[in-house]
Chains A and B, each alone.
Chain A
Amino acid sequence: MAYSDKVIEHYNNPRNVGQMDKNSTAVGTGLVGAPECGDVMRLQIKVNPETRVIEDAKFKTFGCGSAIASSSLATEWVKGKTVDEALEIKNTDIVKELALPPVKIHCSVLAEDAIRAAIGDWKKKNVAMVEQTAGPVAVAAN
């Protein structure tokens, strides 16, 4: 199979590889896929609690070149976005950017799932804060 230049570029120079402390409340972790399916992505985001901006993102992926490129691109795209903006990233955007062929569309779907899972994890950890921003600010009791 011929890969697009962008897939090859991400494969050769993956962005934001690594891990963050998954126990930190500022960090959301998404682990999607399964080893028996041939791809597993772990995408992590570090969110500023004040601004809800994703200040850092890391990934590790077990999968084909297109899966690696999709997750690498996803980390690039989420950085600097608020969590709500990041939720608007669609798999079709990834398909377009990386020129993925039809058989590789599932890689982009998995990357979108990974973003959603990471944000979901962060939200779960920060339920109180998420509610806070929606309602009147309460003074935390010591």
Chain B
Amino acid sequence: MSTVLSEPKLPAGVHLPIYMDNHATTPMDPRVLEAMVPFFTNKFGNAASRNHSFGWEAERAVDLAREQIAKLIGATAKEIIFTSGATESNNLAIKGIAEMYRERGNHIITQVTEHKAVLDTCKRMEKQGCRVTYLPVNADGLIEMDDLKRAIDDKTILVTIMFANNEIGVIQPVEEIGKLCHERGILFHTDAVQAVGKIPVDVNAMNIDVLSLSGHKIYGPKGVGALYVRRRNPRVQIAAQMDGGGHERGMRSGTLNVPGIVGLGAACEIARLEMDEEAAILRAMRDRLKEKLESNLDFVHVNGSMEHHLPGNLNMSFIHVEGESLLMGINDIAVSSGSACTSATLEPSYVLKALGLGDDVAHSSIRFGLGRFNTQAEVDYVADKVIDVVQKLRELSPLYEMAKEGIDLTKVQWQAH
């Protein structure tokens, strides 16, 4: 007689694997997909075809999407330029402004925890004759306004500072930055990929001149993004970085990705209507997760300011436990780690290092990214599982044992390799 082993019973609302890595990408909202589908099939027209109904239909859909996106960030439809995603938007903004305003100056200011799409673009601009200032961040992950003020000189043409960080969820003082740039007559670009649709963004109230956003971070499709380019006070000009048919007011040639654009528009519309309620739910779930982890484990460290923080983000270090080994123990949960072992470069997270944290804290970090489709039951499951695995790995950790014995690990002569 054979014995049937039953699967351990999961609580209601928990389906494995659990996706809690919503800063990397988000699942598409079924309502977004529904809006997109016709534009793959019978509504296949080229939005640039001006002389037949197929083209007009596509153009109407694109115009609606432009409205939907603009409305979410307080812009006008004409100020939205479609791109392939935020990497392209960031490249186009920085390179296009540096080229267009070369006669006015060549100095760009950014900061050290930017996404690589901004940092690497700035590095390339340095090779092409620009001067770039990389502002530091404080232990909370925020730039200091005084540092920014001091960095500005008469050659400064652009300040590019992200709205919210993708690893630690810290929200920069965008409104203050915008105000300062506006007063000094310097353009302000912000990579708002993690902020748009999650927290209120208003390009006018915040004096944002150029803004990057992406579809797949807001429950829309991958491969589509947008660049907001201010048209009035001041009128921002951007040199195209790709030559072709002169689409998107000459700033970005290439046939429009109509289904993707329709999806991006729908995603923005849903975000605009549901953002406040969703943010409150995410914040409550995130706080519950944080509270459970903090009350059940010692030697935990929350990375980044919790005061200026995205609702769905929690970045926590479980000191004396290496991040990749923790991920291995919670392999039915999708989260990220700042550990070197999980990165392609085998370097620990540069964002966490910029906060002044030791490499050992970065190695121990886990990023939880809660999103629209997570449930409280999942949060509880994740908390219990993480607590269990951290405790097991600490039984294995010589560092935890030494710390518990009161040994100061910073005073130990390590044999680095």
Whether both chains belong to one complex is answered with yes
Please tell me if A129 contacts chain B, counting CB pairs below 8 Å. Answer: no
Do B417 and A38 touch (CB < 8 A)? no
* Total A-B contacts with CB atoms under 8 angstroms apart: 89
Number of interface residues, chain B, beta carbon within 8 A = 28
For A41, the chain B residues whose CB sits under 8 A away are 398
Which chain B residue shows the least CB distance to A42? Answer: B398
Q: In angstroms, how far is the closest chain B Cβ from the Cβ of A21?
A: 13
Instruction: Please provide the chain B residues from 250 to 295 with a CB less than 8 Å away from any CB of chain A in the complex.
Output: none
Instruction: Please provide the chain A residues from 65 to 108 with a CB less than 8 Å away from any CB of chain B in the complex.
Output: 65, 67-68, 103, 106
Q: In angstroms, how far is the closest chain B Cβ from the Cβ of A70?
A: 12
Give the size category of A's interface with B: 20 to 34
Main SS of chain A's interface residues?
Answer: mixed
The proximity string for B residues 195-206 relative to A, scoring 1 for CB distances below 8 Å and 0 otherwise, is 000000000000
Which chain B residue shows the least CB distance to A3? Answer: B328
Do B324 and A35 touch (CB < 8 A)? no
Instruction: Please provide the chain A residues from 1 to 45 with a CB less than 8 Å away from any CB of chain B in the complex.
Output: 3, 8, 11, 14, 17, 19, 31-42
For the complex, what is the distance from the CA of A42 to the CA of B359, rounded to whole Å?
20
Please tell me if B322 contacts chain A, counting CB pairs below 8 Å. Answer: yes
Do A60 and B325 touch (CB < 8 A)? no
Do B360 and A33 touch (CB < 8 A)? no
Contacting residue for A33 out of B321, B325, B400, B414, CB 8 A: B414
For the complex, what is the distance from the CA of A67 to the CA of B261, rounded to whole Å?
46
Can you pick out 30 interface pairs between chain A and chain B where the beta carbons lie within 8 Å of each other? A8-B328, A11-B328, A14-B396, A17-B395, A17-B396, A31-B398, A33-B415, A33-B416, A34-B417, A35-B360, A36-B414, A36-B416, A37-B359, A38-B360, A40-B399, A40-B414, A42-B398, A60-B396, A60-B397, A61-B397, A62-B396, A62-B398, A62-B399, A64-B339, A65-B325, A67-B322, A103-B346, A106-B417, A113-B415, A113-B417
Top 6 closest A-B pairs, CB basis? Answer: A34-B414, A36-B359, A35-B360, A60-B398, A42-B398, A64-B324
